[in-house]
Structure 1
Amino acid sequence: MYHQYFGLREAPFSIAVNPRYLFMSPRHRDALAHLLYGVGAGGGFILLTGEVGTGKTTINRCLLEQLPDDTDIAIILNPALNALELLASVCDELGIDCDTRHHSLKSLTDKLHRFLLDNHARGRKTVLMIDEAQHLDFDVLEQIRLLTNLETNHEKLLQIVLIGQPELAAMLRRPELRQLNQRITARYDLGPLSLDETRAYIRHRLQVAGLTADRELFADGAVRAIHRRSRGIPRLINLLCDRSLLGAYGGNKSRADRAMVEAAAREVMGEEGASSKRRRPAWVVAALVGAVIAAAGAWLWNRGALAPRAEAPAVAAAAPARVAPEAPAANKGSTTAAPWLQPPDAAGQQLWALHAVAVAPDQACPLETVAGLACYRDAVRTWDALQGYDRPLVLELVTPERFRAAALLLGIEGQRARLAAGETVAVVPLAELTPLWSGEFYLLWQPPEGFDGPLSLGDEGPAVAAVARMLARLDGQDRPLTQGRFNEALQSRVRLFQASNQLAADGVVGVRTLLKLNEQLGIDITRSLALSQLETGERS
């Protein structure tokens, strides 16, 4: 109804699960990492709990996408079954031929055991996923526990994932279920989003729906109110955002404010003694009237009753432009006199110095590793593409007089760049820098031990082991997914990491993936640290 008014392609806050709107907060990534580790552990139970609307379904879908192709999956969405019905449903999901008229617990268990043994002999894994598991009866949970007794001498034949609300975890702590609780190899309680995560979540969904980067549809006070009213639960965030934008649309406003969120909360959550006979808020009425008028206008247009106007009014006011501070006087005039414009070798030497290398190599970007650092060179078309590198880097420039030059970039803030200018920092408008830059740049980074090229499924060696240790450290796990061979569990974890960091999720560990890993683990120098070093005159 309102998305066209705000210049969006579609309504951004539907509560339907849409993979295009996937938002992986740090806690969602942790939850998925725990599930992947549990599946890779080769047996037992995996437990995921969380309040209604926190994103368990999203995690489930991600897990299914990350499982290797040699995995057979049985999914039980309605657990309100007795033990016999549950086993029959599992057999149906796995395509096991059963006599539905004469089956018993023993006959179904025997057939399932034979299937699991045959699957194991073919090198395939079997996973049973049960949603809304808090509704399972005790005798059914005990029967599920018995299924994990189906095993070989080395591993369990069936991996079971239990998903449910927090009362599931409380139920499993009861003494009569202690045997099942002790078999849980990975567990995670998915909590609500923080205020910052709520803000990022709202922004993410709006951008997927087509909102440009220079616009805001929610005032900061509105975001705080949404987080407080929703308690950080994504489903409630969607409902509040949807109704708030509807209110802004009905009131002909360019963005939603705190008052609109409070009105939306009363409407969505039925607060303050609302009854079925309570009058709708004025903004809802206005929104509905606006929608009717818009629909009627579209119909009349199609019928030819309305003629196009000479100039269509803007449907939403643009966000007020921010006035950047004037660039330092030293940057005015000819670009060749700018202190941040350096000879290529000088910029390279300063980059090496930021990485605590006292004597830079002869070539600023050598092919071989020097002092544990490797040079990565690339070319991009936009400033946005550089924002993905949280580290200092050298821009390769050409002056108006067609001489080679360089600039040491320390960060981009809005329409300005922070560049090293000797022992100080210059703030330079991007409009002044853009004509000199063709898109080429290079940076320094620390590759893992033994890394000499992309790593993929089946590779072995110290670099694979190093990557597994890095991911385990990122996930807070004591045990890595592999000790030296690139297995399917590691491939799935790499894909998850790549997808959550806007990289091509191909499961191949190349330089871009390692750069992002280094950034998140604090291995390489960051922009903020480099900026601090220059401003204080220190070196790491």
Structure 2
Amino acid sequence: MYHQYFGLNEAPFSIAVNPRYLFMSPRHRDALAHLLYGVGSGGGFILLTGEVGTGKTTINRCLLEQLPDATDVAIILNPALDALELLATVCDELGIDYQRDRPTLKTLTDSLHGFLLQNHAAGRRTVLMIDEAQHLDYRVLEQIRLLTNLETNSEKLLQIILIGQPELAQLLQQPELRQLNQRITARYDLAPLSLEETSAYIRHRLQVAGLAPGRELFPPDVVRGVHRVTRGIPRLINVLCDRILLGCYGRNRQRADQTMLKLAAREVMGEELAGRSHSRWLAVAGGAAVVSLLLGLGWWLLRPQSAPPASPVATAEATQVAQVENTATGTDWLLTTGGALQQLWQLQIGEEAAATMPAGLCGGEIHFPLSCLREQAQTWQELVELERPLLLELVTPARSAAAAVFLGVEDDNALLWAGEAPARVALTELAPLWRGGYRLLWRPPAGFDGPLALGDSGPAVAAVAAMFARIDGQQQPLASDTYNNALATRVRLFQRRQQLQADGIVGVQTLLRLNAALGRDRELVALGKDHDDRL
């Protein structure tokens, strides 16, 4: 096997679950914390969703290992059951005796209820875990909901954990399942690994397999490619990295490179998918010519009318920069800061409302409906992950201030807005002009004028509470217009999940992540209509 060629003790990227290779990223630890919190909360449902291969099984195993000894667990791995079969399987898992020749829903429920009461009296907890729950029929889900009616005066007798793919959360949004959805006390969507986590994941598995200290098999540029192709899904990372190492072994190469990455991606993902991963701003679907722009600009390209020309202000300022720099017509993406900001505003709020851009938009004050934030970045990847159009602060070779509207990255090119269509500019050409400064436009909640903390009150608190209610699928927000302990606890959980400082204070960074979770900054008003701040 190839692992001996690289001085490894075993193949590091097997897709078989091996406890020695357990890798708990911050989001995996956060998911586990949510599940443990839900199990200890005294009843109701816990929901864990995530794409195929993101590590839900890993979380489940960790949860089972950390449950108290006084816990009985029933695990349903095959959800393709009707209500009667499901109850019978639960009873079988828990060792409950029941009338097996002609069981009914009533007899099975009675037997389960009796067991739960005995367990509760003995100080034991009972947990039902259902995997691949997105395949459950809604009538079976309704029967599962009825099981939570088995309770004492103070707590539920049965804790139910539903695990499935993202469509499970969509299924629970159906009106006929609203009662079940309202009973979910903890929910977590397990996102794929970030670029940094992907790098740590690959390094961890290689080290466990015995890679010699100081040796590098996957250079940073290959790791970036692996993350791009696999989208950070651990199972796909394993398959792709395994194929890369096998290819290196077959060609007597000591470490991975871009050639081996592309070959492996074609073999593992298929040529079409591998190629698509290198173009991050467009996706082709059916007979449509263009469907979406990675940074939320698909709405612009899909408009039936042609894209509007640059505003007179932006055009004049762009001309000024071109004259100062003696640039060619191919650099019409190069604007002054004011011109680029006008373009950015116009892209996000609409052509007819572009004249409403407030003076001093990026002066540090909060503006409505969109406010401006100035930040610094070190890499192009940081900009891409923001998934929105940005203003890049540039300095020309003649030391003049300039700017460009950044839309994304395609292969080794930046996509910059050039008035009527995106222009491709080599990153190597753009990099000398960019010192890391950028600006973005974001949607603050109504009434927000600064950080919110425990005890604050006003419409901004109510808006933030409503945003969390939407995320959690709850009809009743945790707070009305006063920032209470319940909302502070929820904010801290969200901040930990987003790898922010978990201080319970709702500042701009927390609001940016909230907006991203809800898609608020990509909600655009139709042209010709008034713009309002919507939740």
Please state which band the TM-score falls in when normalised by the shorter chain: 0.5 to 0.7
**Where does residue 294 of structure 1 map in the other structure?**
none
Q: Judging changes above 3 Å, is the alpha-carbon distance between structure 1 residues 494 and 539 closer, same or farther for their aligned structure 2 residues?
A: same
Q: Judging changes above 3 Å, is the alpha-carbon distance between structure 1 residues 386 and 186 closer, same or farther for their aligned structure 2 residues?
A: farther
Could you give the per-residue CA deviations for residues 34-67 of structure 1, whole angstroms, max 9, x where no partner exists?
A: 986897xx754445699xx973662697999xxx
5+ residue gaps, structure 1, are 65-72, 82-131, 149-157, 224-231, 256-311
Q: Distance in 2 between matches of 1:205 and 1:339?
A: 37
Q: Distance in 1 between matches of 2:226 and 2:250?
A: 7
Q: Judging changes above 3 Å, is the alpha-carbon distance between structure 1 residues 409 and 316 closer, same or farther for their aligned structure 2 residues?
A: closer
State which structure, 1 or 2, has the greater radius of gyration over its C-alpha atoms.
1
Moved more, 168-177 or 312-321: 168-177
Indicate the SS of the match to 1:469. Answer: helix
Give percent identity, aligned residues only. Answer: 33
Which of 456, 464, 469 aligns to 1:467? It is 464
Q: Judging changes above 3 Å, is the alpha-carbon distance between structure 1 residues 377 and 61 closer, same or farther for their aligned structure 2 residues?
A: farther
Q: Judging changes above 3 Å, is the alpha-carbon distance between structure 1 residues 209 and 450 closer, same or farther for their aligned structure 2 residues?
A: same
Aligned-pair CA distance for 1:342? 0.6
Aligned-pair CA distance for 1:376? 1.1
1:447-466 superposed matches below 5 A: 447-466=444-463
- Are 1:392 and 2:389 matched, yes or no? yes
Q: Judging changes above 3 Å, is the alpha-carbon distance between structure 1 residues 241 and 344 closer, same or farther for their aligned structure 2 residues?
A: closer
Aligned-pair CA distance for 1:522? 2.5
**Where does residue 304 of structure 2 map in the other structure?**
none
TM-score in terms of structure 1 length: 0.53
**Where does residue 127 of structure 2 map in the other structure?**
162
Q: Distance in 2 between matches of 1:397 and 1:47?
A: 48
Q: Judging changes above 3 Å, is the alpha-carbon distance between structure 1 residues 449 and 56 closer, same or farther for their aligned structure 2 residues?
A: farther
Could you give the per-residue CA deviations for residues 439-486 of structure 1, whole angstroms, max 9, x where no partner exists?
A: 112122111123222334454443233222112212322222333444
**Where does residue 214 of structure 1 map in the other structure?**
222
**Where does residue 124 of structure 1 map in the other structure?**
none
1:83-102 superposed matches below 5 A: none
**Where does residue 338 of structure 2 map in the other structure?**
345
**Where does residue 259 of structure 1 map in the other structure?**
none
**Where does residue 316 of structure 1 map in the other structure?**
256
Q: Distance in 2 between matches of 1:483 and 1:344?
A: 40
**Where does residue 414 of structure 1 map in the other structure?**
411
Which of 142, 166, 191 aligns to 2:117? It is 142
C-alpha contact (below 8 Å) 1:80/1:136 kept by paired residues = no
How many pairs were matched up?
Answer: 382
Q: Distance in 1 between matches of 2:261 and 2:193?
A: 24
**Where does residue 55 of structure 1 map in the other structure?**
56
Q: Distance in 2 between matches of 1:505 and 1:76?
A: 31
C-alpha contact (below 8 Å) 2:248/2:260 kept by paired residues = no
Indicate the SS of the match to 2:72. Answer: coil
C-alpha contact (below 8 Å) 1:48/1:190 kept by paired residues = yes
1:107-506 superposed matches below 5 A: 134-135=93-94, 137=96, 138=112, 139-144=114-119, 162-165=127-130, 179-180=149-150, 183=156, 188-191=161-164, 200=192, 205=198, 208-210=201-203, 211=218, 212-215=220-223, 237=235, 241=238, 249=245, 253=249, 314-319=254-259, 336-337=327-328, 338-354=331-347, 355=349, 356-506=353-503
C-alpha contact (below 8 Å) 2:150/2:158 kept by paired residues = no
Aligned-pair CA distance for 1:136? 6.5
C-alpha contact (below 8 Å) 1:12/1:206 kept by paired residues = no
Indicate the SS of the match to 1:75. Answer: coil
C-alpha contact (below 8 Å) 1:397/1:437 kept by paired residues = yes
**Where does residue 311 of structure 2 map in the other structure?**
none
Q: Judging changes above 3 Å, is the alpha-carbon distance between structure 1 residues 466 and 360 closer, same or farther for their aligned structure 2 residues?
A: closer
Letter in 2 for 1:376: L
Q: Judging changes above 3 Å, is the alpha-carbon distance between structure 1 residues 219 and 465 closer, same or farther for their aligned structure 2 residues?
A: closer
Indicate the SS of the match to 1:79. Answer: strand
CA RMSD, 1 decimal: 5.8
Aligned-pair CA distance for 1:32? 7.9
C-alpha contact (below 8 Å) 1:45/1:186 kept by paired residues = yes
Letter in 2 for 1:55: K
Indicate the SS of the match to 2:439. Answer: strand
Q: Distance in 2 between matches of 1:341 and 1:390?
A: 21
Indicate the SS of the match to 1:419. Answer: strand
5+ residue gaps, structure 2, are 75-90, 97-111, 168-188, 204-217, 263-274, 280-318
Moved more, 494-503 or 391-400: 494-503
Which of 25, 35, 39 aligns to 1:21? It is 25
Q: Distance in 1 between matches of 2:497 and 2:250?
A: 31
Q: Distance in 2 between matches of 1:436 and 1:219?
A: 26
Letter in 1 for 2:459: P
Aligned-pair CA distance for 1:390? 1.9
Q: Judging changes above 3 Å, is the alpha-carbon distance between structure 1 residues 371 and 142 closer, same or farther for their aligned structure 2 residues?
A: same
TM-score in terms of structure 2 length: 0.54
Which of 488, 495, 513 aligns to 2:510? It is 513
Indicate the SS of the match to 1:407. Answer: strand
